[in-house]
């Protein structure tokens, strides 16, 4: 991170505010610089650090450039270190960017400096680990290999990131901040998978809880359980709930999709606070929570992190709006979820997952599904094969069952029979649903 690509770039942009490029001066600009050092390590087919998952170190630095010209046109480009030690000819670059400029009536979206929230997104422990030899992640790899269940085909991935990002704008934003990320995941026989992803290292107790849960579920899934029945209740595991949020919530709440007629919802639905889910259900983006994977300080557009309610008690509150679609909608930009993990679902009468489990007489926990990304996000209907489903009888896991689930995501969220069970280990709840299941 010794190169200061952005200094030269910013000087060139400032100059272009005074001296025209192909007859046009720059009115505004924004430069977002991302620098990251990443270390990864993995296990494949029970082998640690194999040729497919060797310890890997990745270093990158690039800048995203957004320009607004005096005639209102704008340009978007990506810049990185010049090739083989050469120097950038910024004048030539600016001319090319001007040639690639496009008309956009909502281009003037460079924000002014604003007070930034206090959000903990950088852990020095991760920085130290990356800079001092990565011993910790090698140890974690060893721990997975030595404790894995006998006979299980084990896979795992471990990743740590230390980043230093900056946002500079012609309006005076000049922010540089650090960030960190740490993620670990493992799977047994491609059936039982578990993971952790935050902006800090995993604690010993978090590791142990996740590991113990994986081992106990792996033991159970070896048994074939009785087939499902008409009255068998379907519970979606948190990882499946998150995938569904990715497929249905992110696309249908995206401001661009709504404005362009590519969402289930219309602008009018939000303006009228249309009731779309059952009254107990709420959804939010909260990027202010400390050390969460999707927490952030400010967006890449320079908008400070803030809390946004998408749905409150079943009623539409806000779409997801970046600076452009905020301007177009006529309201301020919202929080950005940066992936489905950034969407939190709550229910007024949610209960701990352990309590929910005890109350299920005949159910199946869907641990993974095949083909969710192929389903129609607008209609919400789904028909999915479940390669890993754990049968529940009288409050206990009893074995595996092969099923298919059918239903509608929108119907699930609109049903009074839907219930959330929360677990400290997961960002999303367990979702007890009224969807249908059938044996394969």
Partner 1 sequence: MNSERIRQIVKDLTRKYPEDYLIVRAQARREINIKLNNGKIESVSTGNESGMGIQAFTVNGASGFSSANSIEEGTAGELAEKAIALAVENERIGCELNTQIFSLLPNQDEIPNYAKYDFDRFSPEELQEKMMQIHRQLEEIHLENASIAWQTSYRQVEDFWCIGRTDGTLVSFFIPRAVLIHQGTVRQGDLGQSFSIHRSGMDVGILLEEEEDRGLQKLAEDKAIFIQKVCTSDQISLGSYPLLIDYGLAKGLAHEAFGHAVESDLAEESVLSQHGKLRKGLEISGCGVNITDGSYPGDWAYQPYSANGQKRETVVIVQDGILKQGLGDVFSAEKAGMEMTGACRAEYYGSVPLPRMTNIRLMTDTRIPLPKSKGLEDELRNMRTVLKSQGLLQKDYHFVLIGYRGGQVNIKTGDFVFQCDGAVNIADPTLKTYKPGIFSGKILSVLQSVRSSIGDERYDAIGTCGKAGQLVPSSGGGSGYILLEKNEGIRLGGSENER
Q: Residue 285: beta bridge partners?
A: 308, 343
Q: Residue 37: beta bridge partners?
A: 59, 162
Answer for the pair 356, 335: CB distance below 8 angstroms, yes or no: no
Place of tokens 């320079």: 302
CA gap 228, 230 in Å, rounded: 7
Half-sphere exposure (CA, 13 Å, Cβ side) for 86?
7
DSSP letter, residue 249: I
Q: At closest approach, how far in Å is the CB of 322 from partner 1? A: 11
CA gap 103, 100 in Å, rounded: 10
Complex with partner 1: residue 90 or 353, whichever CB lies closer: 90
Handedness of CA 338, 306, 65, 159 (dihedral sign): negative
Q: Is 164 helix (H, G, I), strand (E, B) or coil?
A: strand
Complex with partner 1: residue 83 or 112, whichever CB lies closer: 83
Residue 233, CA distances (Å) to 223, 340, 394, 436 in order = 20, 25, 12, 8
What residues contact 160, with CB distance under 8 A and at least 6 apart? 38, 39, 40, 126, 129, 130, 134, 137, 180, 181, 182
**Own/partner long-range contacts of 16-22 (Cβ < 8 Å, ≥24 apart):** 16/94, 17/170, 21/91, 21/94, 21/95, 21/98, 22/95, 22/98, 22/99
What residues contact 89, with CB distance under 8 A and at least 6 apart? none
- Of 108, 88, 125, 126, nearest in space to 9 by CA: 88
Q: Residue 421: beta bridge partners?
A: 351, 430
Answer for the pair 427, 356: CB distance below 8 angstroms, yes or no: no
């Amino acid at each position: 991170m010794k190169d200061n690509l952005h200094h030269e770039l910013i000087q060139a942009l400032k100059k272009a505010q005074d001296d025209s490029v192909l007859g046009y001066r720059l009115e505004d600009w924004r430069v977002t610089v991302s620098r990251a050092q990443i270390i990864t390590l993995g296990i494949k087919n029970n082998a640690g650090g194999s040729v497919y998952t060797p310890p890997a170190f990745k270093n990158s630095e690039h800048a995203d450039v957004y320009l607004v010209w005096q005639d209102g046109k704008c340009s978007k480009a990506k810049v990185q270190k010049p090739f083989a030690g050469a120097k950038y000819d910024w004048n030539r670059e600016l001319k090319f960017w001007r040639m690639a400029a496009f008309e956009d009536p909502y281009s003037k979206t460079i924000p002014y400096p604003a007070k930034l929230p206090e959000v903990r997104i950088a852990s020095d422990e991760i920085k130290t680990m990356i800079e001092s030899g990565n011993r910790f992640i090698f140890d974690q790899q060893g721990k997975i290999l030595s404790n894995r269940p006998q006979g299980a085909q084990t896979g795992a991935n471990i990743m740590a990131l230390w980043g230093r990002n900056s946002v500079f704008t012609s309006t005076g934003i000049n922010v540089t901040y650090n960030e960190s990320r740490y993620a670990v995941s493992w799977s047994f026989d491609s059936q039982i998978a578990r993971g952790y992803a935050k902006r800090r290292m995993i604690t010993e107790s978090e590791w142990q809880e996740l590991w113990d849960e994986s081992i106990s579920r792996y033991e159970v899934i070896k048994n074939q359980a009785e087939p499902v029945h008409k009255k068998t209740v379907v519970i979606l595991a948190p990882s499946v709930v998150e995938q569904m949020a990715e497929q249905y919530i992110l696309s249908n709440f995206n401001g661009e999709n709504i404005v362009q007629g590519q969402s289930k919802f219309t602008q009018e639905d939000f303006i009228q606070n249309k009731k779309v889910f059952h009254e107990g259900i709420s959804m939010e983006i909260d990027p202010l929570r400390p050390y969460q994977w999707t927490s952030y300080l400010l967006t890449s557009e320079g908008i400070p992190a803030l809390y946004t309610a998408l749905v409150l008690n079943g009623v539409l509150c806000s779409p997801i709006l970046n600076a452009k679609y905020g301007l177009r909608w006529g309201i301020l930009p919202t929080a950005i979820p940066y992936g489905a993990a950034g969407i939190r679902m709550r229910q007024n009468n949610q209960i701990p997952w352990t309590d929910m489990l005890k109350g299920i007489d005949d159910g199946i926990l869907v641990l993974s599904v095949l083909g969710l990304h192929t389903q129609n996000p607008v209609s919400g209907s789904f028909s999915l094969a479940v390669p890993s489903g754990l049968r529940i009888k009288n409050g206990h896991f009893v074995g595996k069952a092969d099923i298919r689930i059918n239903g509608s995501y929108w119907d699930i969220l609109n049903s009074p029979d839907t219930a959330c069970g929360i677990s400290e280990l997961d960002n999303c709840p367990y979702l007890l649903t009224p969807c249908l299941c059938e044996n394969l």
